[in-house]
Amino acid sequence: MDRSHWFIVDLHIHSKYSRATSSALSFENLVKWAKIKGLNLLGTGDFTHPVWFEEIKKLRDEGKGFYYYQDFPFVISGEISLVYTQEKGRRIHLVLLVPSIEIAEKINAYFDTKGRRDYDGRPIFKISGDEFVREMMKISKDIEIIPAHIWTPWFGLFGSMSGFDSLKECFKDEVEHIHAIETGMSSDPEMNWKIKELNDKAIVSFSDSHSFWPFRLGREATIFKKTDSYKELIRQIRENDFIATIEVDPAYGKYHFDGHRICNFSCSPEKTKELNGICPICKKPLVVGVDYRVGELASQTPTNYPNRKPFYTLLPLHEVISLAFGSGLQAKKTWVIYNSLINYFGNEFNILLDVPKEEFIRKNIDEKLIELILKNREGKIKVKPGYDGVYGVAQLEEKQKKLF
């Protein structure tokens, strides 16, 4: 298939100044592994952090809102956490896309009136959702605000613990300035198509990666029409005019099912209802995951969602190799096989999406691995659902039963 017009983009990542991130995160490593992955554009992440922002300002500006490290483009981006009280506790994470260094400096100046930015790449502010959007629009109408991983329990806007049941409830009269939502790993577009309120919103996907490794970076991404400008990128989001998204199986996400990590217990929404939401091990309320929450808020059938985009359900190549050979995700054997595949076929997305079976055979790729790559391409690798912060686990099974 001709992918020459594709522009595969991951705009939600973090720097080494965010908590639980790789200390080796640098623009050099991000570019190296983005190319190996097959990505064409990244967000910088963490523009609010003073030290990382100094690194961002060293990127080459060609005047169109893309900032380059060597020949690779970045868009200024970051994630913030809003934690505040509005009748009850509210907390949401938002992804920000920013058109220029100058606008980023104005945003940072605004944040400095509200609190500190230097302690974490994803800072926390006591600002309501509607106030925040209103203040950003005063700075620039070109700032894009996207509710992050919208279904995760604690900080996803629709999450079971966030305090909101709708975009309108969060953003009030400013909701018109929200043009898109991010699926997060534990949901996919089809699940979001069940929410009528999203009918006029774009549904995008990014990785929320905390490292540059290719099993994290770009594990979820959005495929845009090729462009070299921030303005056109934002137009495609606002007009829902991009091509498709790349998703992991929602079961792979850390919050798809309900459960308790400390009790080593997870269950489906149906079982949660049988249990009245109570963990049978510790007798405390279960952490309600994304699948349950989507069912709770569903307001239409997926077929009623207009302008549905294609999406590709793919596990990262490291996961497929690990599954084929029983090796760890970061095991030497996994890396040796991964590197040989990249050497043969150029980049990971090419391997996951395009390389014909005959080409794999011609290069003497292991038969079981070929089978799993092709099965992955069709979204047919079974995944034991993740829950309460535990990733889902890909499984080798002959019979692929429907999980949910």
d(CA 234, CA 179): 10
pLDDT digits (tens, 9 = 90+) for 212-239: 999 999 999 999 999 999 999 999 999 9
| pLDDT, position 87 | 62
Mean pLDDT calculated for residue range 42-70: 98
Give the amino acid at 153: P
Sign of torsion, CA 145 53 162 187? positive
The structure tokens 């994803």 sit at: 122
Q: Which fold has domain 6-251?
A: TIM Barrel (3.20.20)
Number of Cβ atoms within 10 Å of the Cβ of 266? 23
Helix (H, G, I), strand (E, B) or coil at 203: strand
| pLDDT, position 404 | 38
Alpha helices in 172-283 (DSSP H): 189-192, 230-238, 269-274
Is residue 42 scored above 60 in pLDDT?
yes
| pLDDT, position 399 | 47
Alpha helices in 13-150 (DSSP H): 27-37, 50-56, 101-112, 129-139
d(CA 213, CA 210): 9
Helix (H, G, I), strand (E, B) or coil at 11: coil
Enumerate the CATH 3.20.20.140 domain ranges in the chain, comma separated.
6-251
Mean pLDDT calculated for residue range 293-313: 96
pLDDT digits (tens, 9 = 90+) for 172-206: 999 999 999 999 999 999 999 999 999 999 999 99
Spacing of C-alpha 119 from chain mean position: 23
Q: Each residue of 60-76: b (16+ CB within 10 Å) or e?
A: eeeebbbbebeebbbbb
User: How high does pLDDT run on average in the chain?
Assistant: 95
Taking the CA atoms of residue 158, residue 209, residue 203 and residue 168 in that order, the dihedral angle to the nearest 10 degrees is: 30
| pLDDT, position 398 | 55
180 CB-near residues (< 8 Å, 6+ apart): 144, 146, 201, 202, 203, 204, 237, 238, 240
Inter-CA distances, 387 with 149, 191, 393, Å: 15, 17, 11
Inter-CA distances, 4 with 1, 7, 226, 247, 345, Å: 9, 8, 8, 21, 16
pLDDT digits (tens, 9 = 90+) for 21-41: 989 999 999 999 999 999 999
